[in-house]
Structures are given as C-alpha cells and as structure tokens.
Structure 1
Amino acid sequence: MSTEQVSRRNFLRMTSVAGTALCLGFYFPSSAEEAEIINAGIADGIKDFEMNAWIHINVDGKVTIFNHRAEMGQGSYQSVPQIIAEELEVNMKDIDIRFAQGDRKKYGNQVTGGSSTIRTSYKNLLKLSATAREMLILAAANKWGVTAQECFAEAGHVIHKPSGKKFHYGELVVDASKLTAPANIVLKERSAYKLIGKPLKRQDTPMKTDGSAIFGLDKKLPGMKYAAVERSPRLHGKIVSYDATAALKVPGVQKVFKVRMGVFTIFREGVVVVANSTWAALQGKKLLKVTWDDSGFEHISSPVIFERQQQALQKEEGLFLKKQGDPDAAVAAGKKTLDLVYQTPYQSHSAMEPLNCVAHYQGDKVEIWGPIQAPEWVQDYISAQLQLPLEKVIINMTFLGGGFGRKAFMDYPHEAALISKEIGAPVQVVWTREDDATQGPYRPGISYRCQASVEEGEIKALKFRMAGQNNDQWRSGKKLTTANRSTSEGFLAPYYKSIPNISFAEVQFETPIPTMWWRSVYASTNGFAYESFLDEVAHAAAQDPMDLRRKYLQDERSQKLIDKIEEVSGWKKRNKNEGYGVAITECFASTVAQVVKVSKDNNGKVKIDQVWAVMDCGWYVNPDIIKAQVEGSIVMALGAATIHEITFKDGMVEQRNFYNYKMPRITDIPPIEVFVMDNTENAGGVGEPGLPAFAPALTNAIFDLTGKRIRKLPFDMASV
C-alpha cells in the first residue's frame, strides 16, 4: 500500500516483533523535515517510505542500534548511540551497535558524506529515544496501577518514586509495544544532559585496538577467491592485447581475463588475475604484459592544465552562481583595486586502508561487503549495470580505514561484482597503493581569479571566478549550463549583508582526468583563495585582518567566534618577530576560525609554532570527537598545503606511492589547540569543516612574518 493510505494513528502505533521486542524506526513523509515514528510490524507492509536508524529492545533489556551510516573514523559509531542513550536513559555499555545493510526504503539516505550524519539525524534520534522511554514508563505505570508521573527512567530501568519498585526495560517491552505513542514528547534541556556534550570514550577504540573490528580486508567467505587488476594507466585506454603466460605460472594463480568497470558514465578496462591468495594475485599481476590503445583523447600534463585555467579566467566571465549589486561596475570604477590569481593542486584521497571489496554473485542476486560510504549509490549502479532488481543487490558495510569521499564511489564494488560473476564464486578484490594513487578520481586542481574594489578603508566590491573541473559534470557526463553549485562554498553568508557588491562565477573547464569529492569538497580549495584574498584586501584597506573580518561579519555568532579566537590565540598581544595569520571559513553548516603562528628558527627557516582552532558547530554530542576531527583535518590540510600533490605528465599520474606522494609525519605537526563554541543552534558538520581554514591562515601568517605572499599550493616550507 502507498504511504498516503496509512493513517498517522497507525504510524504512531507501536507493536512488538513476534511479541518479544519493542522495535522503533522513522517514517519520512515527502517534504517533511522531521520524521514520524513507525513500528517494524507496519513497516514491513509499506512499499514507498524512507526510514532511518532503528532502536530494538529485547526482553533481556538489550538495546540494539542499527547504524545506517558508515564509520570511517569520524565517530558516528560513538555519537549516534550517545544521543540515543541520553533520552532513552540507558548505559552506553548496554547498547549493541550494528551496521545496517544498504536499503534506501528502510533507512533513508545512507550516504556518509557532507558531515551529515549527526546534523541531519539528531533531532529525530532524540525524539525516537524519548518516545521509547515514555512508552516504557507508561507500561510500568500500568503494571503497578499508578500514574506515569510517579515514575522515572534511569539506567535501563523504570522506577516508582514513592515505593522504589522498579522494572528493567526487558520486562516492559512486550507491554510497551502494544501502546500508542504519546503525541507530545518533551525533550531534555541541554543543561540536564548526562551523556550528550560529554567527552565519553569511543566504543570502537577497543575493537580497533585488539583487532576485533571488521574492516573490508577482514571479510572472509567460504570458497572465496582473491583478485588483483592491472588497469589502464590512462582512464580512457583500451586493451589491445595481453599475455598472461608468466602470470599463470605463479603458484596459486587460477584465471586471467578482461574486465570493464564503470567510472561514472565511462568504463575503465583492466586485466584480472584471480588466485587463491592476495599475494599470488598481486605477483601474477606484476607479470602481465598488456598492450594499450591510448589514442583518441588528450594526454594532458599539469603545466598545460593550469595555464589553460588562467587563460580562461582572463578571457571569460563564466556562469554566475550568485551576484548581488553590480560588482563589475564597482571594480571597473574603483580607485584602488586588486586582481589576483590563486591556485590549488589535484590531490589524492590516499586513505590508509586501500580500496577493497568482497562480492558474491549468485545468479539472481549479488551481495557486497566492504568499506562503502554510499551503499544506496552502489546499489543503484550495480542494479542497473547487472540488470538485477534493486532488492537483489545487497550491500553490507564494514568499518572504513578512512574514506574522505573516495569510498562513496561505485567503481570498485562494480568491478568486484563483475569478477565474481565471471568466476562463479565469491571474490575479494584488493587495490594496491599504486592502483589507488594512479587511478583516481582526484580532488580537482583549480585556479581562482579574485578582484576587489577598496575605497577609504571600505570594501566596495568582491568578484570571484573559479576555473576547474566540475565534479557534477564528471558524474553526469554532460556539459552543464549552470554554474558549479559549490563555487561560493566556504564563504560566510553574513558577508552578503555587509558588502554591497559580490559575485561568484564558474569558468567551465574540462580534462580527461576523473575528479570527485575530497574532504570538505570545494571549501578545501575555495577557502584558500577567498580567505587569502580577504587578507590581501585587509592590507590594501590598511586594516588589521581580524578587525576586517569582525567589521563585515556582523552577526552575533560570528562576533562571538572572533572574540574566542582572539582570546585563545592572544591575537592582540602578538610580538613583532612573530607572524600571525587568521582565516574563517564555513563548511557544511559549521564555521571554523583558525589562527596560525609562525616564526623563524635558528637557521632562518620559517616554522609553525602553534595552531588555534575554534569551531562553531551548534548543538554537538562529544567534544573529544570534535577536537580529534579538527586536529585530523588540520594535519590533512598541512599535507595538501605544503607536502603533496598529484601531477600529470603525458596523461599519466607521476606519483605512485608514499615515497613521492608523501604524508605529514609526526615531526611535521605543530601544537594544535581546539575549542568548541557552546550554543543551542542547529547542529552543523564536524568531520570536514576543520580543514579549509588552515592553509590560508598559514600563508597569511607567513606574509605577516616575511612579507611574502603565497598564492599557489603546495609550497615548500623550507624555501619560504
């Protein structure tokens, strides 16, 4: 039956699962921001609905949470149950967490990206948990023949205040499941929280320490084979021929054949080596002799890419995303103007866990296990490519050893499914570090042209244009007629109220290189250009860079954020021989201010002395997780700003592994202090917003110390 045929009363009725448990979930009506609560029994009969995380309480009192999102280090495995335990009034140790299978109809949006898990779910999770608690209280009150007001919940029990009698939740679930949910649930005030807002230790840490956590590489199936793939060194290359004679002589190698995996709207060809172990498959792969046809597309190189981008920025106005006032006229008529270009490089995701996937094709269905950020996208893609019904593509998520957007892609599960289909057995496909580095997709390299008009210390106009590959165009395979929707990402909304003339535009740019999301997406590159430029505007206006931001960010939250970053960094007390740089960026509904302090060592080289970061993410769950995510983001930003980049020569990637795509080492990391703003605003993201502000804060600090402007990343700290 359709959702329209199901009454609200039925949706709110709670029933048991075979009379043994209370099982609650969410129903999302179309265009609804908040969910209605639904029970498992009714849910089974509904065909067109979206549900999110479930709470399941059995007769033993054990609470099971079906986590609909991936855990790739960002902390959702801890934060989701921490929210539920608060309103449900249970101990964290009594909660069992399981990864939900990919199922859009049952769990709604399961894509782990955009720092969205908490910010899009927390209100519904609070409501669901509080509803379950109130139903258990009412069930207990009915058993005792007292009013619910005489009872309260604590530590998985309902207690009768006057008598001290109590039931544990397991004794109440059958009765509770027969009740109608209360219409108006009152949630706790933040001041009453016992768990939320507290730095509780993560529940996945012990598992990841003792090895019991199951990552993709840990998954094993009976009769499973192992595969490695030699793929085209250029995305569009085709196989002319291959010689597998030497590969088939490797002990354990069993079969060699061709495969074509989907990369968005095109296909990448490769030669598969199937063996009885990963080692044998990799050794066989090394001995393959493949002849490629690389004709029919441009073999582009990095210098050409960025030269074309800069030429395009000088010649074209581009497609406007946003435009207020008349920035063109204001810049043209300005007495003091700036016209500067900034450049950010291509970057690899380089998650510490290499790409891998287990697939088992069984004729009428295929089942997938692995580190997957976007189960429903994989389900959609494989369903279409293998012509299987959606429900016959079963996606099982494991822990992810980092993702940063790369594991929200469909290519590696699709390839594993095709290989399993060919060999008629379950298979685990493992990518080497070289595979990952040379195949992409990558964060796009982007050039920015930034213009401004400044008069008598006032910003009259800001004009921004970007030229770089559009991830949406790569996904669709079609030329877009509208500007990149992320052109202004990272730029704070309050500026629009205080600066009369502003525009953002995209100058469209294409190459054969595959690109996609990277941690903090376009804010990671936009932030460098826009916040570096604002620093240059501040100096042109003869203003302190922090004061300029305070002047134009006039809303209360921004003012408090600036107060805090000034206070913790000692901005107003900085010494003459020290360089201080500031940047403030927005990303996924959170704002982060960072100050970087630099000085010169005994050899006259610039060194980073300290980083201060203040995050305003509104309502939050666990401050320790926030601090860890901001610290990790800063380390990743440091690498992208000063150490590594992906470059191309003759259409191929020049970096192959960590020997020439180097990671920051512990000796490179400066002291980092992270502070979290306290307020009751809606929750913002946490996993990504800490990254964009670092690079401009660093380069602004270097200018403050040395007078040298850095407008191109990456740069070598030793040569500043």
Structure 2
Amino acid sequence: MSTNKNKTLSRRAFMRNTSLAGGGLVIGFNLFQACKPKVVAEPTIDLASLDYNDFNAFIKIADNGAVTIFSPNPEVGQGVKTSMPMIIAEELDVAWKDVYVEQGILDTENYTRQVAGGSQSIRFGWDALRQTGAAAKQMLVSAAAAKWGVDPSECSVSEGVITNAAGETLGYGDVVNEASLLEVPDLEEVALKSPKDYKIIGKDASNVDIDKIITGKSLYGMDYKTEGMLYAAVLRPPGFGQTLVSYDDSKAKTMPGVVDIIKIGEKLRGLFEKDQGFSSKISSSDKVVVLAESTWQALKAKEAIVAEWKDDTTMESTEKHEEILTDLLDNGKFETRRSDGNIKTAFAQADQILERTYESPFLPHSCMEPMNFYANVTNEKVHLVGPIQTPEWKAGLVSQMLDRPQEEILMEMTRIGGGFGRRLYGDFVMEAAEISDAIRKPVKVVYSREDDMNAGVYRPAIKYRIKAGIKDGKITAYHLKEAAINDNMYGLIPNFFPAGAIENYQVDSVAYDSNITTGAWRAPYTNFLAYAEQSFFDELAELMEVDKIQMRLDLLDKVKPEEDERIQYSPERMKEVINVAVEKSGWGTKPSNVYQGFVNYYCHNSHVAEVADVEIENGEPVVKKITCVVDCGIVINPVGALNQIEGGVLDGVGHSMYGELAFADGKPVATNFDRYRLLRMREAPEVVTYLIENEHSPTGLGEPTLPPAGGAIANALKAATGNRLYKQPFINTPELLKIPEKEIIG
C-alpha cells in the first residue's frame, strides 16, 4: 500500500506582493494549505525591513538573484532547516549556493503543523514545497518570455538563469518586478520536475547552520538574551505526587546576584481545567522561583532554599511499577485495538504455543541542551523565544493561562539542542510565561541537568506479553498484550507487521495511572515494541525449526494491503529491505567468531532492516557492527540522511544496552550522567548504511532506525551466548552477557 500523501496548495494559498521599490520579489507560500489569501506583504523600499510576521514562510528573490527561503518548522537537529528549502530550491531551479535560509516564527494565523515530531515534516511538506518552487519559477519564466516577446515554452531555466531559443539570457533578478505583476498559476497544474532531472535533491548539502554551530554563534535557546533579562531557577517538587507546604528563602535572598524570590503555580493550575492533555504532563504544585543576574547565581541560591513538601498520594518505586504491570498483564481490563479471526479457538487447536514477556524501563530524554525558555510579558504582547517542538500548542496554552488574546502571543523558535519528544510538552514555556507575567520583566528559565532528570516527562515503563500458536507447522494465532504506565498505546501499534500476515491476530492494551509524568520518547509507540516482537519472531522460528529470514518473508507473502486498508506497511518494500540487508551484511557467511542478529521493522512510514554483528572479546560479547538498510522514499539530502540513520541506530544501541531510570519514593535514582548510563564513544559500533533508491515520496527518517537496533542486538547476543534476553537494559543481565561486575554502572 502506498504511504504517499497528496498534499497540495490551492492557487489562492500561494501569495505574493507587488514589486518592491528597492527591487526584488517576495513570494510567500503556505507549506500546509493553511494560508489566508488576505495576508499579503506590504510593499517596502528595503528588503531587510519587510515585516516577516505577515508570512507563514516565503521565498525572497533580490534583484541580484539571491534567494532567501524562510523555514517555519522547528529545527531539532533532524535537518529540516536544510532539506525543506532544498526542495523549494530544486523546483525554483536556482543554484543552492545562492540560497540563504532563515528560521521563521510561529504564525498561528496561516500555518498548520508547525511541529517537529513523528518524523513527518518532509513527508507532509513534500508536495506543497515542490509546488511553491515550481509556481515561482513559472511566473519568472513568463515574465522573461513577455520581455522577449516569445512563448514561455521556448524558454529554459538553469540555476536562476532563463534562456530563450535565440540564446539570450535573463537572471531571476532581472525579471522579479515584472513577475510580481503576473497572475498566480494554478498550483495543482504547475509542472514539477522528474526525479531524473534533480540537481539539488539527492545531492549532499551541508547543514545551513554549520558555520554558526562550529564557531559558537548564537543559535540555541541557551544563547538568547535581552537587555535587563533575569535568569530564573525553579525549585520543583523533589518527588512526583508532592506539593509545597512552606519554604524558607532567607539565606537565598542574601546571596550574590539574587534579585527576587517568588512563588508560582496558581495560573498554571487554572490552566489544568482548560487543557487536561497538558496538565497530565506536569506537576500541579506551587514552585519557588529564584530570579538572579546569572544562571549560576540563580541555581546556587535555589540550593539554599529550605522547603517542606507533603505527599498527596503514595510515593512510587520502580519495583511497584514492575509488580503492577505484571498484575495488569494477568488480570487487567484490556482494550482491544485489533482483532482478526478467533485467537481463542486457534490457541485451543494449536499443536504448540510460545508465550514470552518483555520488560522495558523508564527513560529520560537526555537532551544535550537542558530545558530553557525566554518570556517577556508586557501590556502589549507576550514575547516567547526558545527551543520548542510544538510552538503553536504552547502559544495557545500561554494565551489561555494568561487570558491574553492569541494575536498578542509572539513565539520565536531557536535551534533546538535535542528534543526526542521532551520538548513537545513545554512545561518550561509555561513556567517562563507565568514568571514574567508576575514580575513584568524579561526572564529566562534555565534547568540544570539535575532539574532535567528530576522533572522529566519520561518514556513510560512497559511490559509486553506475546503469545503465538502453531498448527501443522504454520503460525495460526498471535496475541500481543501491552501493559503501560499511564496512557496505553504508548508502545503498541496494531496495524504494523505482522498484522495481516496471521489469520487469528489480536492486539490488546491496558494502562496504570501513575504520578510519574510520561510521554513521547524518540520513536514513540515502537522504540521498545520492535525489540520485543522481533526477538519473539526469532525464538518462534527456532521453535518451529525454520529459517528466521524465510519465516518473515513467508509471512509478508500473506499480507494483502489492497484487501485491508488498515495495513500501514508495504510487504513488497519490506521484502526488499530484508533481501538487501541479507546480502549486504553477509548474513550466514561470516567467520565463526562473528554472531549475527536480524530485525526488520516498519515505523514512521519507513521500512528498515538491521543486522547486528557481535564478537566475543576477553570473554565478553561486544557489538561491533550494525548493517542498516532503509527505504524512506526519495532522499533529499543524503549526508543529512546518514546522520539521522546512524544517530538513530546508536541511540537504539545505547538505550537497549544501558539505559534505565529507576525510581525510589517517587524520585529518580539517577540525577545526572554520573549515575545514568549512556553509550560511550568506545562502545559505539560501526554503522554501515544502504538506502533503497526509488521514486516514492519521502517518508520519516529521524526515528525509524532506532527501534530495530535493540532487537538486532538481542538476537545477535542469543547467537553469541545461547541466552535469550527479555528485559532492557541488557547490561543488567551480566550472567547472560558475561559482563564483569566492574563494568556495571548504577
């Protein structure tokens, strides 16, 4: 089944302004069909003085031929600030070296999906971005043709230069003023390039921010500052489910640089009644805020505050959660997400039954840049600046919390130093806004690493129980049960593989309501499920005494997406990545000291297969190499794609091997990286990537390679040690991995 989405722009959604007195054309565009035709840029004598707030995003062409493309989506390191403009530049037919890229601001009037999440930015913007560039090109060519008195069909374009049949040339800058007077073409009818003609798409392009990144120029939220800005350190409840009783700030007030100490929480609690989706992700307790002249002064003064907290509910521990999840799997009231055939009858008739339970821990997001945000609340507007994955959602919440009209909220986005889902929720945005509203001064909230670990929105602990029935050498029944902390379906996808491949198939889920805040973590729904299911498939093949790869291919042969619209993956594309991975990894042909594990998986609209190579060194299994094959459709920027693929694989390796955040009395046991185990550089395996070339529209890439990594490693470790692993992190099973006690951390 095709996963391509036909996202187009209406003709009226493609807006432009009249000729600029200073020379040049500004062509605005709506990336996601939400542009209002009444919003038009005002003419101005200076390109630099344009009021960019009037646009969602736009192309700016100067009379010297330079092109500036404004990118509206948050940049979290996934590369959209480079790749999205590349798509426009390709269809506009300009030289990439002549393109300048700038970050747009939030425009709630004219945009939808100004979001960084789900690996969907390119997928949803693909058609709209191409149409934007192509329509601008058509207008420019028409203007040049009129100037020459020829038909536009006689003209060709290359790198911003228009050429007619006689060999005469005009640059885009020569005709921008005339082009601005032409009628905007029907965007659904503009001619789009064939992939074989691409000059920019498919070619390596450096990150547009790379010079600023390596030279330390201001890009990130932590860099942002204004005159008179105060720094805020927030004292939050030390444990989940606690509320503030009283506090003594007498010592803190005398410390250097401290300007004020206030209490916040009332306005945020008022918001809870309006938006339960947000309130479930944060504490409703009052908090104490230190305002100082520097981050260090604020953080040190916060440590000097003596606070008393009370428990509103029973404090929780990791052990309690493990017991609760097991009980839920045994006795919970499940919601059925998909049910095909009759699993009860199929299991009753089965010759053999395999049932296994898999456990995953809580995980923090561990962003390199701790949470931070700037707010300046005045009578005229609420100015917000910082790293956020969901700017429109947060601006709307601030509007509700402060009871201010939406048009008074100005949200600017900085580059984000890691998000992974943590910056979807934006509790730090709300804190900054409430603090600034209270003191009516510009303020920036800054988390310490300990704040980040203690006040997180974590990946929830989950347990899966998978049961399969075998009859006459065939898999006839499959039952997947999920028990999760808080909202169910955190890790469960009912219509992914093997849905459609097994006649009697059922997926159920149940959840436990915990004080510990949980939410999306990189590759939500799949980051642990891939390991559980793919490890189970290997064990199932062993029980059936069949080839592991062939078993998967045989199951895929049974899938008929044309008969079942619920199926989200393509069996043909999945078989291709499997076959390529087998070939490229040398599956089954390695020396006897190399043990391999295989996984294939579909998520975020992309198909992936991974093979892990494990060797025994000094009596210990070591992950040496991951071969990764990806079908994500057309690849916009190959070097950026490789960065995303390798980063996802290594993230999957690190967290399946080492990642775990335990709780005691409602508090994280680890509060910094001295106790929270991350993948070390010397432990990172080689990652070899192969991209499937085709002309399918682009799909997700920031997340799909993470989920399969854990399963590939687990299956390779089974081959190396003879032992199956049913719980992450793998390092906590030293008797299985043969890892010396001295290497175990935490």
TM-score, normalised with respect to structure 1: 0.92
**C-alpha separation in 1, matches of 2:646 and 2:157:** 37
Match of 1:199 among 204, 223, 231: 204
Match of 2:704 among 679, 684, 689: 689
Match of 2:609 among 569, 587, 593: 593
**C-alpha separation in 2, matches of 1:57 and 1:332:** 70
**C-alpha separation in 2, matches of 1:117 and 1:13:** 22
Give yes or no for the alignment of 1:342 onto 2:346: no
CA contact (8 A) 2:574 2:600 kept: no
Q: Equivalences for 1:36-115 in 2 at 5 Å?
A: 42=40, 53-115=57-119
**C-alpha separation in 2, matches of 1:171 and 1:125:** 24
Q: Between 126-135 and 96-105, report the one with greater CA deviation.
A: 96-105
Correspondence for 2:154:
150
Give yes or no for the alignment of 1:16 onto 2:18: yes
Q: Which amino acid aligns with 2:174?
A: E
Give yes or no for the alignment of 1:608 onto 2:612: no
Cα deviation for residue 21 of structure 1 reads 4.3
Cα deviation for residue 36 of structure 1 reads 9.1
CA contact (8 A) 1:52 1:108 kept: no
Q: Which amino acid aligns with 2:295?
A: T
**C-alpha separation in 1, matches of 2:403 and 2:372:** 23
CA contact (8 A) 1:65 1:81 kept: yes
**C-alpha separation in 2, matches of 1:271 and 1:13:** 48
Q: Which amino acid aligns with 1:499?
A: I
Correspondence for 1:211:
216
Match of 1:412 among 425, 428, 433: 428
Correspondence for 2:192:
187
Q: Equivalences for 1:120-159 in 2 at 5 Å?
A: 120-159=124-163
Q: Secondary structure at the match of 1:566?
A: helix
CA contact (8 A) 2:11 2:184 kept: no
**C-alpha separation in 2, matches of 1:114 and 1:502:** 26
1:101-133 deviations in whole A, cap 9, x for unaligned?
112322221111000110110111011101111
**C-alpha separation in 1, matches of 2:228 and 2:122:** 39
**C-alpha separation in 1, matches of 2:194 and 2:610:** 30
Q: Which amino acid aligns with 1:460?
A: T
Q: Which amino acid aligns with 1:181?
A: V
**C-alpha separation in 2, matches of 1:202 and 1:674:** 20
Decide whether aligned partners of structure 1 residues 51 and 461 sit closer, same or farther in structure 2, where only a CA change above 3 A counts: farther
Give yes or no for the alignment of 1:284 onto 2:301: yes
Correspondence for 1:620:
635
Decide whether aligned partners of structure 1 residues 53 and 588 sit closer, same or farther in structure 2, where only a CA change above 3 A counts: farther
Q: Secondary structure at the match of 1:395?
A: strand
**C-alpha separation in 2, matches of 1:279 and 1:12:** 48
Match of 2:721 among 706, 709, 716: 706
Q: Secondary structure at the match of 1:146?
A: coil
Give yes or no for the alignment of 1:249 onto 2:254: yes
Q: Secondary structure at the match of 1:119?
A: helix
Decide whether aligned partners of structure 1 residues 136 and 351 sit closer, same or farther in structure 2, where only a CA change above 3 A counts: same
Q: Secondary structure at the match of 1:223?
A: coil
Correspondence for 2:415:
399
Q: Secondary structure at the match of 2:588?
A: helix
Give yes or no for the alignment of 1:168 onto 2:171: yes
**C-alpha separation in 2, matches of 1:468 and 1:287:** 38
Q: Which amino acid aligns with 1:71?
A: E
Q: Secondary structure at the match of 1:636?
A: helix
Q: Secondary structure at the match of 1:105?
A: coil
Decide whether aligned partners of structure 1 residues 341 and 485 sit closer, same or farther in structure 2, where only a CA change above 3 A counts: closer
Give yes or no for the alignment of 1:487 onto 2:492: yes
Q: Secondary structure at the match of 2:469?
A: strand
Cα deviation for residue 553 of structure 1 reads 1.8
Cα deviation for residue 718 of structure 1 reads 5.5
**C-alpha separation in 1, matches of 2:401 and 2:409:** 11
CA contact (8 A) 1:131 1:181 kept: yes
Q: Between 704-713 and 316-325, report the one with greater CA deviation.
A: 316-325
Cα deviation for residue 645 of structure 1 reads 1.0
Cα deviation for residue 354 of structure 1 reads 0.7
Q: Secondary structure at the match of 1:212?
A: coil
Correspondence for 1:178:
181
Correspondence for 1:515:
518
Cα deviation for residue 206 of structure 1 reads 1.5
Correspondence for 2:600:
584
Q: Between 548-557 and 279-288, report the one with greater CA deviation.
A: 548-557
Correspondence for 2:693:
678
Match of 1:354 among 370, 373, 377: 370
**C-alpha separation in 2, matches of 1:272 and 1:485:** 33
Q: Between 7-16 and 122-131, report the one with greater CA deviation.
A: 7-16
1:319-350 deviations in whole A, cap 9, x for unaligned?
01111111232123311001110011100001
**C-alpha separation in 1, matches of 2:711 and 2:696:** 27
Q: Which amino acid aligns with 2:202?
A: G
Decide whether aligned partners of structure 1 residues 614 and 338 sit closer, same or farther in structure 2, where only a CA change above 3 A counts: same
Q: Which amino acid aligns with 1:192?
A: D
Task: Calculate percent identity across the aligned residue pairs.
Answer: 34
**C-alpha separation in 2, matches of 1:317 and 1:340:** 20
Cα deviation for residue 470 of structure 1 reads 4.2
Correspondence for 1:47:
none
Cα deviation for residue 636 of structure 1 reads 1.3
Unpaired segments ≥5 residues, structure 1: 1-6, 29-33, 45-49, 472-482
Give yes or no for the alignment of 1:544 onto 2:544: no
CA contact (8 A) 1:12 1:180 kept: no
Cα deviation for residue 12 of structure 1 reads 6.0
Q: Secondary structure at the match of 1:450?
A: strand
Cα deviation for residue 580 of structure 1 reads 1.1
Q: Secondary structure at the match of 1:461?
A: strand
CA contact (8 A) 1:355 1:431 kept: yes
Cα deviation for residue 24 of structure 1 reads 3.3
**C-alpha separation in 2, matches of 1:293 and 1:249:** 27
1:408-442 deviations in whole A, cap 9, x for unaligned?
11210110111111222101111000000011110
1:378-425 deviations in whole A, cap 9, x for unaligned?
111111111011111111000111110111112101101111112221
Q: Which amino acid aligns with 1:351?
A: C
Correspondence for 1:658:
673
Cα deviation for residue 9 of structure 1 reads 6.7
1:572-612 deviations in whole A, cap 9, x for unaligned?
313444321111111110111111011211x2111112110
**C-alpha separation in 1, matches of 2:37 and 2:160:** 21
Give yes or no for the alignment of 1:314 onto 2:330: yes
CA contact (8 A) 2:599 2:711 kept: yes
Q: Give the length in aligned residue pairs.
A: 688
**C-alpha separation in 1, matches of 2:392 and 2:519:** 18
**C-alpha separation in 1, matches of 2:348 and 2:29:** 55
Match of 2:316 among 296, 300, 314: 300
Q: Secondary structure at the match of 1:574?
A: coil
Match of 1:332 among 315, 335, 348: 348
Q: Which amino acid aligns with 2:205?
A: L
CA contact (8 A) 1:457 1:542 kept: no
Match of 2:382 among 349, 354, 366: 366
Q: Secondary structure at the match of 2:353?
A: strand
Cα deviation for residue 15 of structure 1 reads 4.0
Cα deviation for residue 705 of structure 1 reads 2.0
1:541-584 deviations in whole A, cap 9, x for unaligned?
11222111111123321221111000110113134443211111
Q: Secondary structure at the match of 1:90?
A: coil
**C-alpha separation in 2, matches of 1:531 and 1:40:** 52
Q: Secondary structure at the match of 2:122?
A: coil
Decide whether aligned partners of structure 1 residues 319 and 353 sit closer, same or farther in structure 2, where only a CA change above 3 A counts: same
CA RMSD of aligned residues (A): 2.2
**C-alpha separation in 2, matches of 1:312 and 1:441:** 23
Q: Secondary structure at the match of 2:336?
A: strand
1:653-685 deviations in whole A, cap 9, x for unaligned?
111000001221110101110111111223210
Q: Between 685-694 and 245-254, report the one with greater CA deviation.
A: 245-254
Q: Which amino acid aligns with 1:310?
A: T
Correspondence for 2:230:
225
Give yes or no for the alignment of 1:443 onto 2:446: no
Q: Between 422-431 and 98-107, report the one with greater CA deviation.
A: 98-107
**C-alpha separation in 1, matches of 2:145 and 2:526:** 53
**C-alpha separation in 2, matches of 1:36 and 1:252:** 47
